[in-house]
Each structure stands twice: as structure tokens, then as C-alpha cells.
Amino acid sequence: MNRLFLPMSFASFSLALLFTACSQSTGQQGGGEYKLITVEKTDQTLTSAYTAVIKGRQSVEIRPQVSGTLTDICVNEGAKVHKGQTLFIIDQVPYQATLQTALANVKSAEAAVATARLTADSKEELFREHVVSDFDRQTARNSLLEAEATLAQAKAEEVNARNNLSYTVIKSPVDGVAGMSSYRVGALVNSSITTPLLTVSDDEEIYVYFSMTEQQILSLVRQYGTMDKALEGMPEVELRLSDGQMYGHKGKIDAISGTTDTETGAITLRAVFPNPERMLRNGSTATLIFPYVKKDVFVIPQEATFEIQDKVYVYKVNKEGKAESAQVTVFPQNNGTEYVVESGLQQGETIVAEGAGLIQENTQVTAASPEKE
């Protein structure tokens, strides 16, 4: 009897444990105290940083239009220049000689035209008196036309010679600041040089170029309604310089590229900044700070959320005090500690503020006391 009693007692005890475990797993989840918050709409400003390239409003490469030797450099590197200011002078002697030759050719052609006109008039008079034939009269007319054509060609060569002479004086086409030049007096230059004589950058205003993803641009367009309204409504942006200091003037985004980079999926934007101190230079790099101003939105801690397959959820507390999961849509940008919720929450709803990833569906929750928070 003793041998039968011990195994049966052990089996009964095992079944009791299994039944108890099954009852706990299928029953209601155990409750606990959690930090809760009631969501209220508010305004939130988020910032994102973008690597940016600085360009002058207008950057012009100065190149010669004629060939020759530099005889004078009239600008200092880094100096401020004005539109029409002389920058370089190319040896003018051969071009002056060419102009003189062209002028002489014009005078010679004018004389030839005058002689041909006299001859043609004379032949016309003699033809009316039946002294010369119609052939002689027509030949004289043709000679006049030929002389006039030669004169026109000589005048064209004169214009070309004057232009070439004027091109020996190289002037700035814009206001701006002169860059560095590798050319010195005596250098032989021509219109096909690969390196420009100088670059003049108009830096009274500076263009700052940066890129956003297509998703970010679409989000902005949806926020404002249209692309044009987005450009008008975008907030002012700031610039952090390479030394880590913030630039003293704010800028405004004035252009968005109409194409998307097929390799990176990025879209280029341009912001305009004033540059009265000439602190910003063409070709520099900086970091553009873009603020996202979200009005009348819900802001919740990131600890109040959990993710399943790239979807964000929170636990709402229902009237029975139980946790119910609910999907929410959050703004792509965040400050690292909070999310801006764009949809999925209602004013006055209560959610679990911390440890959402540790709670199970229908868990009974109560608000934690201040000491436990």
C-alpha cells in the first residue's frame, strides 16, 4: 500500500501545480501602479540639423576674351570690387595696330566707293546720250556695288578690332569680392585657359544649400497645403558655423528643387542669409538649423510608446482602468525624448507614460503615487 500511495500523491501534486499555472496564464493580467498622463494639445518646436554648403549670391569666373600678355593687374586678392572696375589689362599694342589697319582699310574702301560712284554716274549720263553701251553702264554699277561691299567688310573689321582692343581691359561684371589669382604680370593668357584669372563673388547675400529627404518635403507640403504656401510659411532658419558658433543673422528658405536625386532620394533647398559683415564666404560649409513649428498637437514621452513592425503604439487607459493598445502617428522629427503625435489620440485621454513596452493588453493599471514616480 505504501508503494502505491507515494506515486499517486506526487501525481496529484503535479496536476495541482499545472492547473494553477494554467489558471494564472489564462486569467486577467495582474495590475500595477504606473505613471499616467492626460494628453492635452500644445505647441511644439523641433529642430533638425543639415549639412550645408555656402555659395555667394553670384560667383563669376573672370576669363579673357582675347589672347595676350598680362601687362597690369589692377585688383588685390580678397578686395571688394565694383561692377565695371578694371581688374586686368592685356598688352594692347598689337590690338591697337590692328585697329589702325582696320581704320586705314575703311578709308581706302570709302575712297574706292566714291570713285566707283563717280564712274557709275558718269556711265549713266553717257548711256542716256548714247555714247556708251548698256554693258558699260551695268559694269560701272557692279563696280560700285563691289566697292560698297568692300567698305561694309572694312567697317565690320573695324568694329571687330575695336571690340578686341576693348577686351584687353578686363572689367568686373558684378559687385563682389575678388578671390585668389594664380596669374601675375607677364603671364600669357587666352580665352581657352582652364583656370580663370579671378573669381568675383557677390556676397552681400549668401545662398546656403542643403538637402532634405522626399518624405520630409512631402510632410511640409501636407502641413501647408501646397509647395508655394510651404515656401511662404516656412519659419526662419539659423546657421551654425564651422567653429560651432551660431551666425548672427537668420535666413529664409526661398527655393526648393523641382527634382529628386535618383541616387540619394534627397531634394535640395536654398536659404538666403544677409551677410553685412562679410563673415560668410563662398565655398564654406556650415550646419543649417531648421525649426519645425507644430501647433495644436499632442506631445508625449517616448517612454510612453512601443513599436511593432515600424508602427508606434501607446497604451490608453479605458474607463475600467485597463490598458488598451492604440496605434498613433508621430511626426518624423523628434527631440530625442518626446514624440509629436499627429493622429491617434484625443483631447483628455489618459495614457501610460512610462514602461509601455513592459505592459500587456488589458493590464489593470492605477496611477503611481508621487513617491513611486
Tens digits of residue pLDDT in 65-82: 999 999 999 999 989 999
Q: What is the pLDDT of residue 369?
A: 64
CA distance 94 to 249: 51
Global pTM exceeds 0.85: no
E strands in the chain: 32-34, 36-38, 41-62, 68-73, 80-81, 86-90, 169-171, 176-178, 188-189, 198-213, 238-240, 252-256, 266-274, 285-301, 305-308, 311-317, 323-330, 338-343, 350-352, 365-367
189 has pLDDT over 90 = yes
Q: Determine contact, residues 234/181, Cβ cutoff 8 Å.
A: no
pLDDT at position 349 is: 93
| Vertex 337 angle, CA 336 and 340, to 5° | 90
In terms of pLDDT, which residue wins out, 107 or 357? 107
Report the pLDDT value the prediction gives residue 298, as an integer from 0 to 100: 92
Run of H or E including 100: helix 93-128
Pairwise pLDDT comparison (222 vs 253), residue with the higher score: 253
For residue 247, the model assigns a pLDDT of 95
Give the pLDDT of residue 13.
40
How does pLDDT run across 322-345, given as a tens digit for each residue? Answer: 999 999 999 887 888 899 998 999
Query: Is it the case that residue 31 has pLDDT exceeding 80?
Result: no
pLDDT in tens, 203-238: 889 999 999 998 888 888 887 888 889 888 888 999
What is the per-residue pLDDT for 295?
84
26 — pLDDT class (breaks 50, 70, 90): very low
Domains along the chain with CATH numbers: 48-57+202-293 (2.40.30.170), 64-89+173-195 (no CATH), 92-167 (1.10.287)
* Residues 210, 256: Cα–Cα separation, whole Å: 10
18 vs 63, which has greater pLDDT? 63
Q: Mean per-residue pLDDT for 361-373?
A: 73
CB 369 within 8 A of CB 32: no
pLDDT band of residue 373 (cuts 50, 70, 90) is: very low
- Give the model's pLDDT for residue 360: 86
Tell whether the model's pLDDT for residue 2 goes beyond 60.
no
| Pair 356, 303: CB distance under 8 Å | yes
Q: Region 288-300: what's the mean pLDDT?
A: 89
User: Which pLDDT score is estimated for 29?
Assistant: 52
Confidence tier at 282 by pLDDT (50, 70, 90): confident
Confidence of residue 370 (pLDDT cuts 50, 70, 90): low
Average pLDDT over residues 165-177: 94
Pairing mode, if any, of strands 338-343 and 323-330?
Answer: antiparallel
pLDDT at site 64:
97
% residues pLDDT > 90 (the chain) = 61
- 281 pLDDT more than 90: no
